[in-house]
Structure 1
Amino acid sequence: MNVQLTSAEKKQAIFESTLRLISDYGFHGTPISQIAQHAGVATGTIYHYFASKDELIVELFRYSKQKIQDATFRDHDASAEYHNRFVTTWINLVKYYVQYPQVLSFFEQFYSSPYVKEIFTDETVCFQDEISLFLKEGIRDGYIKQLDINIISAAFLGTVIATAKRGTSQYFKFSEEDLENMVGIIWDGIKK
């Protein structure tokens, strides 16, 4: 029996296949034909949704960014104490990257590529996203030290990425207590 995928399912299959293949082979080592084969769609189907591989990669960035935002802030209660929201946000992001290491790999490649210029122009600020806005809230409301947002973001995201990478290794797994201890170190370093 031949099951037909809906348009949304095809697009998601293309995105998910692209993530996996780019994680394994990089941007240049992942041709459209390979993505189509992996996604179980015709090459023409990809070109139906995306004018080029470049457009696919830029749209994949937006798709992945939304997934990360949804996962990171899924337990976000704006009325909760800022410290508790900080801990939850940091741990959620680490867990997301551990569960989806291909997304982390994609983001690292994307932010180091010319594609980043497609998203962030002179009018927009690189890394201006929900996490930055959340950290700026902490600075504005006096929970976090009055430091440049790039310093605070680097401390936050750098430790998330390092923790997630270690958490995906076969040699070490972090417990919930380990994650809470690690985010506690970050919080102690940036809290006002």
Structure 2
Amino acid sequence: MAIRQKCIKKRKALLNATLNLVNNNGFHDAPMSKIAKMAEVSPATIYIYFENKQDLINQLYLEVKSEFSTYVFKNYNEKDCIKDSFKQVWMNIADFKLNQIEASNFLSQCDNTPMIDEDSRQAGLKNLQPLINLWERGQQKGVIKLISPYLLYAYTVYPLSFLSNMKQKQTFVLSEKGLEEAFEAAWDSIKL
């Protein structure tokens, strides 16, 4: 059991080191040697857990995306009205993006660069299926505009990345009132 726990710790250390290096230096300036050094393992140890750097990045992405999904859909009840269900999910996304900075920054990089492969990107998108289902249900009920889920995401969720960036730069801090206003603006952008 102790050996198994040690293996889990090493793998987690490698993932955390990768997350930190990619966020601070970018994908290309995060060589395996730096990852190993930061994780305090030998470079050869990486290959026990991952085939190569691409596999490491893909697995990190899928784990962070899964954590994001778990966070986003906590307390979500699909039986609530469309707006209330969406508000719960949106507020969870806002909380994650504004307070889980390392993970949020990594996911933003993955969304905006070709860092991860297409199979991993598609697998990661499956984590958002409950939100897509909610939007489809809202469209079927005539509550949400009949536009692409990509446009719905762009108008409602993507602005939270901007607000998170402004918070990190200490340019703008979103108050509780501001958060409510941001949600209402997001809802107004997609409701019929």
Q: TM-score, normalising length from structure 2?
A: 0.85
Q: Give the 5 Å matches for 1:11-50.
A: 11-50=11-50
> Does the CA contact (< 8 Å) of 2:22 and 2:30 recur in 1?
yes
Superposition RMSD in Å: 2.3
Aligned length: 186
Give 1:168's aligned residue.
168
Once the two structures are aligned, what percentage of the paired residues are identical?
Answer: 24
Cα deviation for residue 114 of structure 1 reads 5.5
Q: Do 1:90 and 1:160's aligned partners in 2 also have CA atoms closer than 8 Å?
A: no
Mean CA deviation greater in 60-69 or 156-165: 156-165
Per-residue Cα deviation, 1:55-78 (whole angstroms, up to 9, x for no partner): 001111101110110111112122
Rounded to whole Å, the distance in 2 between the matches of 1:50 and 1:9 is: 14
Per the alignment, residue 119 of structure 1 pairs with 120
Distance (whole Å) between structure 2 residues aligned to residue 39 and residue 149 of structure 1: 38
Partner of 1:104: 104
Q: Which moved more, 1:45-54 or 1:96-105?
A: 96-105
> Is the contact made by 2:14 and 2:39 (CA closer than 8 Å) also made in structure 1?
yes
Alignment partners' CA distance in 2, 1:36 and 1:61: 18
Structure 1 residues 45 and 89 mapped into 2: Cα distance closer, same or farther (>3 Å)?
same
Asked if structure 1 preserves the Cα contact closer than 8 Å seen for 2:82 and 2:134, the reply is no
For structure 2, the residue ranges without an aligned partner over 5 or more in a row are none
Q: Deviations over 1:7-33 (max 9, x none)?
A: 222222221221111010001100112
Whether the 8 Å CA contact 1:98–1:167 is kept in 2: the answer is: yes
Specify every segment of 5 or more residues in structure 1 that has no aligned partner in the other structure, as ranges: none
Paired residues of 1:94 and 1:163 also in contact (CA < 8 A):
no
Moved over 4 A (4+): 124-128
Q: In structure 2, do the counterparts of structure 1 residues 13 and 114 end up closer, same or farther at CA, with 3 Å as the change threshold?
A: closer
Retained in 2: the 8 A contact 1:132–1:153?
Answer: no
Report the counterpart of residue 151 of structure 2 in structure 1: 151
1:118-144 Cα distance to aligned partner (Å, 9 max, x none): 425xxx599453333332332233321
Aligned equivalents of 2:18 and 2:49: distance in 1? 14
One-letter amino acid of the structure 2 residue matched with residue 147 of structure 1 = I
State how 1:137-148 maps to structure 2 within 5 Å: 137-148=137-148
